[in-house]
Amino acid sequence: MHKNGDGKATSWVSSEKLSGKTISCVLDLDNSSIWYYADGEMLGTGPAFTSVRGSASTTFTPVFSLASSSSVNVNWGRKLKYPIAGAIPLEHDITSKQTAEIRKIWEKYYHASVSLSESGDRGTIKTQGILDLAADLGTSEEQMQLALAVLAWKFRSSAVWEFTEEEFIAGMTLFGIFEMEAFRTITKKWLDELSVPHIFKAFYSFIFTYMLPPQRYVLDIPEAVETWGVLGFPAKWPELWPKWIAFIETKKTISKDAWVLVPSFLNTVGVDLSGFDESACWPAIFEDFVEWCKEKK
């Protein structure tokens, strides 16, 4: 069970026999949920809990209770028996040598940025340093921007196509990346994990905020269209996508509420829009799209 920010507790019980199995508990703050796994296989059909709320000052504390005759072994460490896609352990240690290796990687790309006077402030990887990093990660030209976007999400970058010293070193430390071969391996793993629905959902939500200009709450359509292209949306809905783009380019901006629902909407309505439910609570922009398509027939 867990207790929400309002103090109300909720409980979840699995119907499966779990004696002798390794249970993994994943706290997913991107999607405000808690997931359970047994021997690496997800229990149930989705998260055990949703609406797991917290703030910057919230402390999440793992707690479990046992019957008097029961016993359990707990592992918080990096080497988990059943790694879970998108999850990292609560506890890990790094050596002074590993810290030095992270610093060397940082210095390489930072100095590439300042060598051409392309960094107006200290302690930021940008432009040439970003291009060198993308090349060294071994991603194809088609996946370069996507890989950098995933890296920005994992490292919680605050500026588009830039990494501050704190963001870069903290990210490398958190994920235990101490040399470039491991960096290439984990980047490929992160790209592969985008096929997991709840992982992509968290990444996709982050990208909207990441692309926003300062002091803005809506994304300009040209930036939205370019970003959807990087995410591969045109290939996911080849028949419907040209219509969506022709329509959306008649607008100036898109809100985060609408942005987040674009994949769900396009999956739901179908090529002929027969799946659109007028009674459903879609944002108005999707209703406008359906009407626009009808007018174009």
Q: Which three-class secondary structure string do you get for the chain?
A: CEECCCCCEECCCCCCCCCCCCEEEEEECCCCEEEEEECCEECCCCCCECCCCCCCCCCCCCCCCCCCCCCCCCCCCCCCCCCCCCCCCCCCCCCHHHHHHHHHHHHHHHHHHHCCCCCCCCCEECCHHHHHHHHHCCCCCCCHHHHHHHHHHHHCCCCCCCEEHHHHHHHHHHCCCCCHHHHHHHHHHHHHHCCCHHHHHHHHHHHHHHHCCCCCCEEEHHHHHHHHHHCCHHHHCCCCHHHHHHHHCCCCEEEHHHHHHHHHHHHHHCCCCCCCCCCCCCCHHHHHHHHHHHHHC
In this predicted model, what pLDDT tens digit does every residue of 83-106 receive, in sequence order? 888 787 777 678 899 999 999 999
> What average pLDDT does the segment 233-255 reach?
95
134 or 31, greater pLDDT? 134
> Quick check: 38 pLDDT over 50?
yes
- The reported pTM is 0.79
pLDDT value, residue 36: 87
In this predicted model, what pLDDT tens digit does every residue of 45-54 receive, in sequence order? 888 888 787 7
Confidence at 217, pLDDT banded by 50, 70, 90 = very high
Confidence at 254, pLDDT banded by 50, 70, 90 = very high
pLDDT value, residue 6: 61
Structural domains for the chain: 1-63 (no CATH), 96-193 (1.10.238.10), 214-296 (1.10.238.200)
> What average pLDDT does the segment 251-268 reach?
95
> What average pLDDT does the segment 235-243 reach?
95
